[in-house]
Amino acid sequence: MDTTELELARNRAKVFKAMAHPSRMHIIGLLRDGPRNVGELTATIGSDISTVSKHLGILKKSGIVSAEQRGKSVYYELYCSCIPEFVRCVDEVIAHNICPVRPARRN
């Protein structure tokens, strides 16, 4: 693996690591429907505002979400519209692992 491929693999791992928490996956799912502020996310997730802010900071630092100041509130949204499709693909992998297709029995 050359240095360019290695660097790309490291950067991909950083993004996957940022997503690798149930609360952050929940946030990603909520942002699929459009931008939300910390208060809206906190009310839905059920965590305190500092915890949700910390998760949003991790998602923002990794480039998964972007933030926009609107008046006194900051609204977060998914940076790429393809992220929900990626999550759907992961869901397919999970479904396959739970109910894998077994080959037909030979008689």
SS3 (DSSP) at 44: helix
d(CA 1, CA 13): 16
Over residues 19-34, mean pLDDT: 96
* HSE-CB for 63 with a 13 A CA cutoff: 7
Residue 96 binned pLDDT confidence (cut-offs 50, 70, 90): confident
The domains found in the chain, sorted by start residue, are: 3-98 (1.10.10.10)
pLDDT at 107 over 70: no
pTM of the entire predicted model: 0.84
